Amino acid sequence: MLESTTATLDAAVEYAEVEHLSMQQALNRALDDVLTADPKTLVFGEDCGRLGGVFRITDGLQAKHGDARVFDTPLAESGILGMSVGLAMAGFHPIPEVQFDGFAYPAINQIVCQIARMNYRSRGKLPMPVTLRVPSFGGIRAPEHHGESLEALFAHVPGLKVVSPSDAHDAYHLLKYAASRPDPVIFMEPKSRYWQKGPVDMRDGGTLSGARIVRPGRHLTLVAWGAMVARCLQVAELAAEDGIDVEVLDLRWLKPIDAEALARSVGKTRRAVVVHEAPLTSGLGAEVAQLITQQCFDTLKAPVERVTGFDVPYPSGDLEDEYIPNIDRILLGIQRVLEYRRG
């Protein structure tokens, strides 16, 4: 399990106890806090400086903290992540941004061969406190390469931690938490949730090191992360109209996965459906399903179901509605699990 967050970042700036923020605003506030608390923190990427980023996550940060700490980079993802390696080796805390998830592919060599391995290669002498922000997943009707679901790729790499918030409250606290880690963290931000507002308790992030139950239930567990959490909550409300009490588990950390939380939830409901946007084959849902089966085999009433994207390249915006798991597909997955009969 990950350690609890440091008190330094929590005490960086005084705020009202609860604020109503969008995820975009919450992430911006978290970066401001980290920059204020730690002079070794640097925020950079394509258009991250003067413009404030395509999604305005870094808006106003350069004006406040200076262009030596918040700055633009050339359009070269391999250079952005290669520079992050050198900065981390020199004692800085880089928070680079890859402008869109599909743009991460040119930097895979730096992420996999350098950032993920440097601490191991140096026997702990060169930690990599790099927090890579990746606007992720679909839902905004963007062109090709502007919507991807890369969590299984990153989670497969030893040395990386992977996390995805589902709402503004978690976005604020998880980003600060990730930035306080001595290890590299891939921070996958659901683009389609950037403009969704919600209450953010600025003083208390709760437990940040594992999964969380966002809706308790008795009959079945829906496991999701990122944007799919909100969709699963919609599904749970609809299922309740038919007397089906669905529990929704927000996995949050995609590596390490909170196997204990999975076991507790599915051990209670005895049925599970995993929902994600990535293709079915070798998606992270397969790992989640195996963990559930391994720990809850004796109590499961049905095989773990997966409702996912299809085994095709992530489509451009005009086909997103056909690709991303929708309410009807998730309800159908629930029905299959509830109607399963052995033999």
Would you give the distance in Å from CA 274 to the centre of its chain?
A: 16
Residue type, 214: V
Q: Determine whether 65 is an active site residue.
A: no
Instruction: Quote the CA–CA distance of 195 and 190 in Å, as a whole number.
Output: 10
Task: From the candidates 20, 65, 145, 146, give the one annotated as an active-site residue.
Answer: 146
Q: Is the dihedral of CA 315, 321, 326, 329 positive or negative?
A: negative
Residue type, 208: L
Residue type, 148: E
Quote the tokens at residue 206: 């709760």
What are the beta bridge partners of residue 161?
185
Quote the tokens at residue 159: 């040395």
In this structure, what are the phi and psi dihedrals at residue 253, rounded to the nearest 5 degrees? -85, 115
Instruction: Quote the CA–CA distance of 23 and 172 in Å, as a whole number.
Output: 8
Q: How far apart are the first and last CA of the chain?
A: 39
Q: Is the dihedral of CA 252, 254, 260, 262 positive or negative?
A: positive
Spatial CB neighbours of 230, under 8 Å, sequence gap ≥ 6: 166, 167, 193, 196
Residue type, 194: Y
Locus of tokens 């992050």: 84
CA distances from 86 to 62, 65, 92, 256, 322 (A): 22, 21, 9, 26, 42
Residue positions annotated with a catalytic role = 146
